[in-house]
């Protein structure tokens, strides 16, 4: 078995494309090196898999690897265990050519004397079959000669770092599971939770679509002076559009009281946006009581809370919190960056779409879902809490 790993030089990235300027390399070798340098470091592939992806014969891939080794972009080292017994050959891939080693053998084209299959087929369940490429790596039932150390002239499985063709498996099923898990963590109905690209998008969607829904019913909005910029900047935009925005000031403890909010409500108040927890002071707002007051005095008004800082830290159930719209984000709970969610209460039987396109997220937020990030949110923080 052979092991490939990528050695990246500090301050030098694959975008520098040093190898593309090497006139001694063929186009196939340059393309293969670009591919291997861009691969993540936690997934395995095989020589047969590279052959299928590149639509080239195994011999062509092997020849390209030989070119790269000869040029110094790939080096090989014989691995040995504690007893000195030979183990797997270790191949290291470099972004820049390495100086030749004094004890390096003269390399010959491995395909000159041993032709192999032009292309792997799915009918043969061996290492030539790309559908078996990850299974072959861990096979223990191979004959001894197949379990011996693999060199570049062999068609046996050579694991090369490469992305999993489907890291999230069945995307539709994973998306449903993720929505169920996040909804459970929020205490919400799964059909009312919609994934976004983060808390900022969730806040913008909540604010601008709320105002679109309210139409000409009113021009007054209430928020606080200590909101995140994802709320404050949209408010400035709305002010420029002719809306009146009241910015409530916090007390000495950084809080906004229910009484202060109640005193700011007007007949034409159509939107109230109050954060659950302040991201700088940690002050917690009485959202449940605030939502009750708003809905009592202004029944048609929409109540939004930016719960990004409080999600999974301050216990709440979306069904009973009273907020019509709740924004959350993944990165604040040790999940991946670039994913969040917006809860839309059943009280809002209709709500304007924020992004138009392919109709994802029930047509309310179009755009291909970021499945790796969504799976990360589900599998880490929300799985524990849910």
Q: What are the tens digits of pLDDT across the range 35-70? A: 777 665 544 456 666 666 666 777 887 888 888 888
Q: Are residues 263 and 297 in the same domain?
A: yes
pLDDT at residue 173 tops 90: no
Residue 352 DSSP SS3: coil
94, β-bridge pairs: 7
Give the chain's domain count. 2
Q: Are residues 190 and 141 in the same domain?
A: no
Question: Once rounded to an integer, what is the mean pLDDT over residues 2-12?
Answer: 48
How far CA 275 is from CA of 152, 183, 327, in Å, comes to 60, 19, 9
Give the model's pLDDT for residue 75.
Answer: 80
Q: Would residue 160 count as lying in a domain?
A: no
C-beta atoms surrounding 144 within 10 Å:
6
Kindly state whether residues 69 and 210 are assigned to the same domain. no
Residue 156 has pLDDT above 50, yes or no: no
Identify the three-state secondary structure at position 77. Answer: strand
120 and 219 belong to one structural domain: no
Same domain assignment for residues 142 and 203 = no
Query: Within a domain: residue 161?
Result: no
Q: Which of 3-12, 283-292, 336-345, 351-360 has the lowest mean pLDDT?
A: 3-12
- Comparison of pLDDT for 87 and 146, the residue scoring more: 87
Top mean pLDDT of 4-8, 104-108, 183-187, 301-305 is at 301-305
Predicted pLDDT of residue 144: 46
Last residue of a domain, one of 131, 147, 163: 147
pLDDT, residue 109, reads 61
Q: Out of 147, 163, 198, pick the residue that ends a domain.
A: 147
Q: What would the mean pLDDT of 111-115 be, rounded to a whole number?
A: 52
Same domain, 87 and 177: no
pLDDT in the model for residue 27: 81
Angle at 178 between CA 41 and CA 167, to 5 degrees: 25
Look at 1-15, 260-274, 298-312, 343-357 and tell me which has the smallest mean pLDDT: 1-15
Identify each DSSP E strand in the chain by its residue range.
Answer: 2-7, 74-80, 86-94, 193-196, 220-224, 244-248, 269-273, 302-306, 325-329, 340-344
Residue 367 belongs to a domain: yes
pLDDT of residue 346 exceeding 70, the answer is yes
Q: Is residue 203 part of a domain?
A: yes
Give yes or no: residues 204 and 322 share one domain: yes
Same domain membership, residue 130 and residue 30:
yes
Helix (H, G, I), strand (E, B) or coil at 336: coil
Domain contains 330:
yes
Q: For the chain, how many residues are written?
A: 386
Q: Would the pLDDT of 267 be above 70?
A: yes
In this structure, the answer to whether residues 192 and 135 fall within a common structural domain is no
Residue-wise pLDDT tens digits, 321-340 = 999 999 999 988 888 899 99
We report the CATH number of the domain holding residue 259 as 3.40.640.10
**Do residues 134 and 283 share a domain?**
no
The candidate with the shortest Cα–Cα distance to 237, out of 264, 207, 266, is 207
Spatial contact of 112 and 51, defined as CB atoms under 8 Å apart: no
Return the pLDDT at 130.
37
153 and 108 in contact (C-beta within 8 Å)? no
The last residue of one of the domains, among 98, 132, 147, is 147
Q: Which domain holds residue 117?
A: 2-147
Q: Which of 317, 319, 343 is nearest to 329 (CA)?
A: 343
Of 1-10, 298-307, 343-352, the one with minimum mean pLDDT is 1-10
> What confidence category does residue 88 fall into, taking pLDDT thresholds of 50, 70 and 90?
low
Predicted local confidence at residue 160, as pLDDT: 40
Q: Let me know whether 138 and 227 are in one domain.
A: no
Interatomic CA distance for residues 66 and 121, integer angstroms: 24
177 and 141 share one domain: no
Q: Is 134 part of a structural domain of the chain?
A: yes
Share of the chain above pLDDT 70, in %: 68
Asked whether residue 156 is assigned to any structural domain, the reply reads: no
3-class secondary structure per residue, 276-303: CECCCCCCECCHHHHHHHHHHHCCCCEE
């Amino acid at each position: 078995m052979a092991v490939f790993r990528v050695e990246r030089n500090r301050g030098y990235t694959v975008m520098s494309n040093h190898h593309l300027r090497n006139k001694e390399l063929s186009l196939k070798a340059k393309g293969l090196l670009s591919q291997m340098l861009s691969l993540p470091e936690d997934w395995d592939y095989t020589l047969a898999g590279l052959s299928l992806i590149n639509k080239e014969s195994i011999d062509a891939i092997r020849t390209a690897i030989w070119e790269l080794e000869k040029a110094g972009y790939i080096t090989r080292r014989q691995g040995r265990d504690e007893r000195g017994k030979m183990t797997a050959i270790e191949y290291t891939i470099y972004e820049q050519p390495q100086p030749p080693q004094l004890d390096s053998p003269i390399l010959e084209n491995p395909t000159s004397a041993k032709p192999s299959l032009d292309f792997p087929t799915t009918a043969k369940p061996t290492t030539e079959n790309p559908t078996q490429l990850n299974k072959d790596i861990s096979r223990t039932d191979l004959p001894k000669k197949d379990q011996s150390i693999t060199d570049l002239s062999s068609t046996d499985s050579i694991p090369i770092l490469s992305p999993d063709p489907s890291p999230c498996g069945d995307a539709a099923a994973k998306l449903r599971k993720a929505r169920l898990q996040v909804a459970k963590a929020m205490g919400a109905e799964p059909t009312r939770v919609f994934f976004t690209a983060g808390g900022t998008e969730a806040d913008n969607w909540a604010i601008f679509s709320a105002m679109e829904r309210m139409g000409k019913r009113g021009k007054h909005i209430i928020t606080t002076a200590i909101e995140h910029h994802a709320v404050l900047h949209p408010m400035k935009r709305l002010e420029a559009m002719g809306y009146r925005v009241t910015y409530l000031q916090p007390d000495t403890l950084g809080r906004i009281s229910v009484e202060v909010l109640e005193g700011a409500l007007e007949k034409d108040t159509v939107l109230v946006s109050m954060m659950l927890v302040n991201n700088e002071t940690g002050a917690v707002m009485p959202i449940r009581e605030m939502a009750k007051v708003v809905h009592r005095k202004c029944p048609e008004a929409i109540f939004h809370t930016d719960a990004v800082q409080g999600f999974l830290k301050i216990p709440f159930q979306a069904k009973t919190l009273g907020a019509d719209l709740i924004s959350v984000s993944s990165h604040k709970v040790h999940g991946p960056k670039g994913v969040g969610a917006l809860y839309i209460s059943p009280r809002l039987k209709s709500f304007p779409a924020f992004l138009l396109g392919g109709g994802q997220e029930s047509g309310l937020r179009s755009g291909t879902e970021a499945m790796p990030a969504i799976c990360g949110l589900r599998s880490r923080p929300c799985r524990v809490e849910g």
